[in-house]
Amino acid sequence: MVAGDRFSDENGVRINRLGITDPQQLAQAETDSSLLRLQRLNMQGGIPGGRYDHAHLKQVHQKLFEGVYQWAGETRADREFQGHKPTYVTGFKETMTFAPYKEIEQRLNAIGEQLGKENNLKGLSEEKFAERAAYYLDQYNHTHAFRDGNGRTLQATFVQLGKEAGYQVDFARIDPATLNRARDLAMVRPHSPQEAEKNLQPLKAMFQQVISPAPGLEAEKLRDPGQARPVAPLSAEMKAMDARRELVVTGYRVMDIVANMPGAGNYEKGVAVGKGVEATNLNPAAIQTYLGQFQQAAEKIIKHPALQGADARQDQTDARRFREAAEQISEIAADKVVGTEIQQRSVRMPKNHEEAQVAFTSAANHIACGFREHSQGLAAARLDEVAKHVARTPYLGGLNRENAGKAIDMATKLPALNNSQSLAELKSAMDILVKVPSKAAYRSTAPAVARKGEEGLER
């Protein structure tokens, strides 16, 4: 069981509608239910009017898994789950790190928008469709929106995408191991950005095995080259997402190299690099704190006398890639177009105590989770108590106001939380909650709180 995994019970078994407590029985029940629903959804043509964004993928997941899980359709963000996954696809242990859960909605919408610029891959030849489908499957897979069921959700999504572009997509034509290997290779990116197509080649080859032109005049029209759109330049958000992926995949490899170098203090330096990479992945503004450390780690590898031969070529390449990614993120952060900065600009100001009550409670939960990740358990517990008070009463005064202020002060000192959307939302909500609400505000919020308690997350 993963610590803090709110999708599972105390024994690590996924919370489910069927009351199953044995993980093997649950896995079988999930497979039996979801595969039937997958077939039905594919026959129906997917989600009508779907835009391949956050809302679209949530609907797909819900339709596939609602027979077993009450949390079907919830993303990792809904229960604040991050998670990592190991793979040995390159012959060495690699860490696959997914998108920060707080950015899932933003990233899925950015990917869907980018896909829309290519007219959802209509008008493409088989080879070109396979190439672009590989790119987008990798983007969705890295976002990894759901705790479980990402693979089947993406299969349903790409069956619909193919049908709407004039192609049949049948994943049953390949061994699942082929898909898994291709997917993992794209995640760990063994090749540099200058050879990015090599990272996606196995996924492209996989798609070439599972697609075929759909029969009929309508499908032929969808494949007409006149429908095609040129590959659009990546949006600022997509570029920022890609830079952070590059930092993470090379950063963890640099961490291992430095930590395993002989000499006093190198292990600790390697671990520090890993912590800096994690902090920057969660909040790219943290790059200003860690940039010098990252550059030094890269130089240490590049100049190390034992890492100059042909056997160390990959280590040298990773070090240079890591340094370049860190510097690119620093430049993007300075222009304020990286993930959390974009989110902060779009923070919606609460209009009244009722809206501030909801915004404060949600933001406080995210901030408290961040405190725990940085070993600030006492601060997290205090903020949790304040959030519970606000959920009952839309007002901050006395000790609650003092503790909320302390939480904000501490959050601004942590790179992973400073300038985050959650902190901005907490501040804006607090500006309203420190004012004494009217009696009408008290009355209007009580039913909402009662409904939340009755329904909960696991209804």
Range of the domain at 94: 23-233
- With a cut of 90, say whether residue 84 has pLDDT above it: no
Domain assignment present for 348: no
Same-domain check for residues 229 and 251: no
pLDDT digits (tens, 9 = 90+) for 17-62: 999 999 999 999 999 999 999 999 999 999 999 999 999 999 999 9
Same-domain check for residues 387 and 320: no
- With a cut of 70, say whether residue 332 has pLDDT above it: yes
Same-domain check for residues 314 and 169: no
Q: Is residue 219 within 8 Å of 213, Cβ to Cβ?
A: yes
Domain assignment present for 1: no
CA terminus-to-terminus distance, the chain? 22
Domain assignment present for 16: no
| CA dihedral of residues 295, 296, 302, 305 (deg, nearest 10) | 180
Domain assignment present for 70: yes
Weakest mean pLDDT among 104-108, 293-297, 445-449 = 445-449
What total number of domains does the chain contain? 3
How many CB atoms within 10 Å of residue 164?
18
CA distance 184 to 199: 10
Domain assignment present for 14: no
Same-domain check for residues 183 and 69: yes
Q: Is residue 408 within 8 Å of 423, Cβ to Cβ?
A: yes
CA distance 367 to 414: 11
Same-domain check for residues 216 and 292: no
For 81-105, what is the mean pLDDT? Answer: 92
- With a cut of 60, say whether residue 136 has pLDDT above it: yes
Domain boundary among 233, 263, 289: 233
Closest by CA to 154, choosing from 46, 5, 31, 15, is 46
Domain boundary among 312, 341, 370: 341
For residue 362, the model assigns a pLDDT of 78
pLDDT band at 455 (very low <50, low <70, confident <90, very high): very low
pTM over 0.85: no
Same-domain check for residues 309 and 447: no
Q: How many residues does the chain have?
A: 459
Return all residues near 352 (Cβ < 8 A) that are at least 6 apart: 432, 441
Same-domain check for residues 141 and 52: yes
The average confidence (pLDDT) of the chain is 89
* Secondary structure of residue 429 in the 3-state scheme: helix
Q: Considering Cα of 381, then 382, then 388, then 391, what sign does the dihedral take?
A: negative
For 337-348, what is the mean pLDDT? Answer: 45
Return all residues near 428 (Cβ < 8 A) that are at least 6 apart: 347, 349, 350, 356, 359
CA distance 406 to 390: 16
Same-domain check for residues 400 and 444: yes
- With a cut of 50, say whether residue 296 has pLDDT above it: yes
Domain CATH for 184: 1.10.3290.10
Weakest mean pLDDT among 35-44, 215-224, 284-293, 447-456 = 447-456
Same-domain check for residues 150 and 199: yes
- With a cut of 80, say whether residue 442 has pLDDT above it: no
Domain assignment present for 406: yes
Domain assignment present for 9: no
Backbone angles phi, psi at 85, to 5 degrees: -145, 130
Q: Considering Cα of 302, then 307, then 313, then 314, what sign does the dihedral take?
A: negative
For residue 363, the model assigns a pLDDT of 83
How many CB atoms within 10 Å of residue 42?
17
Domain boundary among 203, 233, 263: 233
Q: Which amino acid is at 250?
A: T
C-alpha dist (Å) from residue 222 to 111, 215, 217, 274? 21, 11, 9, 47
Instruction: Say what percent of the chain tops pLDDT 90.
Output: 71
Same-domain check for residues 38 and 184: yes
For residue 458, the model assigns a pLDDT of 26
pLDDT band at 347 (very low <50, low <70, confident <90, very high): low
Domain assignment present for 2: no
| CA dihedral of residues 361, 364, 365, 369 (deg, nearest 10) | 180
CA distance 104 to 241: 11
CA distance 360 to 117: 36
> What angle do helix axes 104-117 and 236-259 make, rounded to 10 degrees?
120
Q: Is residue 62 within 8 Å of 70, Cβ to Cβ?
A: no
- The two beta strands, 211-213 and 167-169, are antiparallel
For residue 339, the model assigns a pLDDT of 42
CA distance 264 to 276: 20
Same-domain check for residues 164 and 306: no
pLDDT digits (tens, 9 = 90+) for 360-387: 887 888 788 778 767 888 998 999 899 9
- With a cut of 90, say whether residue 242 has pLDDT above it: yes
Same-domain check for residues 100 and 247: no
